[in-house]
A and B are shown apart, each in its own frame.
Chain A
Amino acid sequence: MGDKVLKVLKENTMLIVLVAVVLFFNFTTKGMMLQPSQFNALITQNAYVYVLATGMLMCMLTGGNIDLSCGSFVCLVGVIGAKVMVEKQMPVIVGVLVMLIVGVIYGALLGAIIAYVNIPPWIATLAGFLALRGWGVALMNGASNISPLPVSFSTAFTGKLNDLLGGPVIGGVQYNMTSIVVGIIISIVAVFLLLNGRATKLKKGYQADSLLSVVVKCVVITAAIMLFAYKLSLAGGIPFALLWVAAIVVIYSFITSMTDFGRYFYTIGGNAEATRLSGIDTKKIMFIAYLNMAVLTVVSAFLTMGRFQAANSTAGTNYEMDAISACVVGGVSAYGGSGTVFGMIIGATLIGVINLGMSLMGIDANWQKVVKGVVLLGAVVFEILNNKKNAVK
């Protein structure tokens, strides 16, 4: 029994760390951390982390490969989009399409250089890190931002879902009913999936988690979702940013865990040569990983621009760091082959909570950089040491 509890604890280290960090910040900010508006801020301010980390996850799975250029690309593609929408006065849809096309072109170029020419990813993307921001800033002709973006663009990425159900006002506070209902539905779906997954495993005779751990998981997840739903309902409802993040996370969670194609990313990271010899086009997978990364970077540029309602010359600074950290903190191996979307979400949330908590505490931006560096290094070291122990067993 004791062993079992220990095992459950070990498997969910980062979840426990997340809860501890939230409580720590809540204590040091005298309860500000758990205010409804902070839940809203956590999502809207860190939406880009979730989106970029999803793309980074796919790259890292193929063998610890990263993309250092994504932050600079957020800047460049934002400037291009803003030029189209603001300076050329084109409709929003044209701007969005242009940005996506630029993303596909860059992704294809990067993917080709990495997968087919065999340039080490960190060099290819380091060049992009430098060149793309330079180019983006140069295109702005000395302005520090291009604004204002069309209202419909900003709203699509930063607005809030209208309360379709007309929530009640209790004690002078407006509750958003839609948010609560969506929370309940997601909770039910999550519990059903977990229980169903266990039942299928048992039926097929696979090893499954103990009933206790599944029940604990259900309770924790439901509690977390409902807490979020409740707080968001007090803060004016579900932000659109959350819908974008949720859509991306669900799609990639499905791809990585349910499709053959998704499994290829893991097998390449596990053993590229064996994967190739078993007839899988490893170059194509690498190509797609980076193409996909560029497209998701464009999506995170949408979210970033929407939030600031402008394209900034400093947009995307250090984003690559946040995305890589989110993955590594979420248990994605720095050598590839293991990691899950769920883990990445925990990692991204932790990074987001640290960002938010430090700003609330009024910690100097420079110390924030130091803390982020230390968190990244600490997470990798933890992951490597942890795996070493497991390997010895």
Chain B
Amino acid sequence: MGSNIGNTLKKYTMVIALVVIVGIFYIGTEGTILLPQNVNNLLSQNAYVFILATGMLLCILTGGNIDLSVGSVVCFVGGLGALLMSKGYNVVIAVIAMLICGILIGAWQAFWVAYINVPPFIATLAGMYAFRGLSNVILDGHVVAISNTTFLNVFGGGADCYIPDFFGGGNFNITCMLAGVIGVAIFVINELRARISAKRKGYSTTSSFAFIVKLVLVSVVVLYMAFKLAGYKGIPTSLIWIIVVVLAYHYFTTKTTMGRYLYAVGGNEKATQLSGINTKKVYFFAYTNMGFLTAIAGILTVARATNAQPTYGMFYEMDAIGACFIGGASAYGGTGSVFGAIVGALLMGVINQGMSIMGVDANYQKVVKGLVLLFAVIFDVVSKREKK
């Protein structure tokens, strides 16, 4: 039982760290960080972190490979969309153009990484500079405002984009709370079913203690968030996009063959190749997909700000990479999960948010983020070494 608790604690170190850090900021900001509005901001201001971290996770899974260009590409794609809309193009056309642009950029870098064997950090470092330069060129150094309300409403633009309350709960958004409860119910049922089926098939399962801790922890966090959001204005539209992306990729990485290939390549590339899997294709997929998700992050970013500027997306790659490593992805590939990346992204978001509320100088924020990234990786590498 003692070692059981120890194991459980170890497995959820980052969740516990998240709680502790929230606690620290709670004291540091005298409670401000948990005000409903700030919980709302935490999600909608850091929407890009969740999306980018999901894409980055797939790249990291293939062997600790990263994409340094995402920040610049977010800016470039966002700028392109803003320009198209300001020229009077239809929203649908603009969004499709942004997505295609993202995919093309992803495929361009994926080609060099997968088929020519260019080390990913060099290929994407080149992209980081080139697309930052191109963003400046297309935006001509200006701010391009987005006034298209459809676009803003759909992608959580500005400060006022929420799912309306269908039940008219007045100050308390019932739809939001209900969505939270339903979400938790589905999660619990799903987990129970998976556990029962695993037991029946004789697979090894985590101890019931660990299982209950997990259920309770996740349910409490989700319900708490739903409660806070309901107390503000309801579900921000950007949250819907986060949930869609996260669920889709959670399914993809855990239930599909292609998803498992990502882990296999990261675990042992040679063995994967020899068992007949086209590893180059797996790399190509991971980086093309990164371009696609970067485009979505770009859409959310410019929608949130209601304009595009040539400085957008700076250091987004840091947030995404940091989120993955904090969430337990291995810097050498082969392990990591979407769930972990989400916890990591939340932690990054809390740190961003908490420091802003506390009025920490932007430069010191950079220092803290750099150190957090470094320590997350050191922790990961050292704790894995001890296991061996």
Q: Which residues of A contact B (CB under 8 A)?
A: 64, 66, 68, 113, 117-120, 122-124, 126-135, 137-138, 318, 321, 324, 328, 334-335, 364-370, 372-374, 376-377, 380-381, 384-385
Contacts and interface: CB of A to CB of B under 8 A. Distances in A.
Contact of A373 (B128, B136, B365, B382): B128
Contact of A123 (B127, B132, B364, B377): B377
A118 B381 contact: yes
Nearest to A134: B366
B364 A380 contact: no
Nearest to A313: B363
Contacts of B126: 373-374, 376-377, 380
B209 interface: no
Interface string B358-388: 0001111111011101100110011001000
B315 A324 contact: no
Given A123-B377, A138-B361, A385 B331 contact: no
Given A130-B318, A385-B116, 6 more contacts: A130-B315, A134-B366, A135-B366, A369-B133, A373-B126, A377-B127
B137 A366 contact: yes
A331 to B, nearest CB: 14
A380 B325 CA distance: 28
B112 interface: yes
B370 A380 contact: no
A134 B363 contact: yes
Contact of A113 (B123, B321, B374): B374
Interface of B: 64, 66, 68, 112, 116-119, 121-123, 125-134, 136-137, 315, 318, 321, 325, 331-332, 361-367, 369-371, 373-374, 377-378, 381-382, 385
B49 to A, nearest CB: 15
Given A129-B370, A130-B369, A134-B363, A367 B129 contact: no
Contacts of B321: 123, 126
21 contacts: A117-B378, A123-B325, A124-B374, A130-B366, A130-B367, A131-B367, A131-B371, A134-B362, A134-B370, A135-B364, A135-B366, A334-B118, A334-B122, A366-B132, A366-B134, A370-B133, A373-B128, A376-B122, A377-B127, A380-B126, A385-B116
B114 to A, nearest CB: 13
If over half of A's interface residues share one DSSP class (helix, strand or loop), that class is named, otherwise mixed; here it is: helix
Nearest to B141: A366
Contacts of A364: 137
B324 to A, nearest CB: 11
Contacts of A328: 122
Nearest to A130: B370
A117 B366 contact: no
A138 B374 contact: no
A321 B129 contact: yes
Nearest to B122: A380
B130 A369 contact: yes
Nearest to B117: A384
B381 A135 contact: no
Nearest to A138: B363
Contact of B364 (A124, A138, A324): A138
A251 to B, nearest CB: 27
A127 B374 contact: yes
B118 A127 contact: no
Contact of B125 (A128, A321, A370, A381): A321
Contact of A324 (B112, B125, B371, B377): B125
B180 to A, nearest CB: 35
Nearest to A372: B129
Given A127-B373, A324-B122, A373 B363 contact: no
B382 A117 contact: yes
Contact of A318 (B64, B119, B129, B366): B129
A113 to B, nearest CB: 7
B118 A373 contact: no
A131 B121 contact: no
Contacts of B68: 126
Given A120-B331, A131-B366, A377-B112, A126 B373 contact: yes
A365 B332 CA distance: 36
A371 to B, nearest CB: 8
A128 B369 CA distance: 10
Given A127-B373, A380-B118, A113 B378 contact: yes
